[in-house]
Amino acid sequence: MADDDMLSWDESVFRDEHVLELDYLPDTFLHRDDQMETLKYALRPAVRGSRPLNVMARGPPGTGKTTAVQKLFDKLRGVSDVDVVRVNCQVDSTRYAVFSRLFEGLFEYEPPASGISFKKLFGQITDRLVEEDEVLVVALDDVNYLFYEGEASDTLYSLLRAHEAHSGAKIGVVVVSSDLGLDVIEELDTRVQSVFRPEDVYFSAYGEREIVDILSERVERGFRDGVVSPQVLDRVAAYTADSGGDLRVGIDLLRRAGLSAEMRGSTDVAVEDVESAYEKAKYVHLSRHLRGLSESEAALVRVLADHDGEQAGDVYEAFSEATDLGYTRYSEIVNKLEQLGLIETEYADVGGRGRSRALSLSYDADAVVDRLDGEAG
Residue ranges of the binding site for ATP = 63-67, 206, 218
Cα–Cα dist 125/129, whole Å? 6
* CA 319, 324, 375, 103 torsion-angle sign: positive
Pairing mode of beta strands 170-177, 55-58 = parallel
- Give the C-alpha separation, 188 to 81, whole Å: 31
Binding residues: 63-67, 206, 218
CA-based nearest residue to 298, from 220, 213, 377: 377
Torsion region of 46: left, alpha or beta (phi above 0 gives left; psi -120 to 50 gives alpha): alpha
Distance between CA atoms of residues 331 and 308, nearest Å = 16
Alpha carbons 331 and 335: distance in angstroms, whole number:
6
Instruction: Work out whether strand 55-58 and strand 199-202 pair parallel, antiparallel, or are unpaired.
Output: parallel
Given a contact cutoff of 8 angstroms between Cβ atoms, the answer to whether 123 and 166 are in contact is yes
Label the pairing between strands 355-361 and 343-349.
antiparallel
Cα 29–Cα 31–Cα 36 angle in degrees, nearest 5 = 65
Q: Helix/strand/coil (H, E, C) string of 115-176? A: CCCHHHHHHHHHHHHHHCCCEEEEEEECCHHHHHCCCHHHHHHHHHCHHHHCCCCEEEEEEE
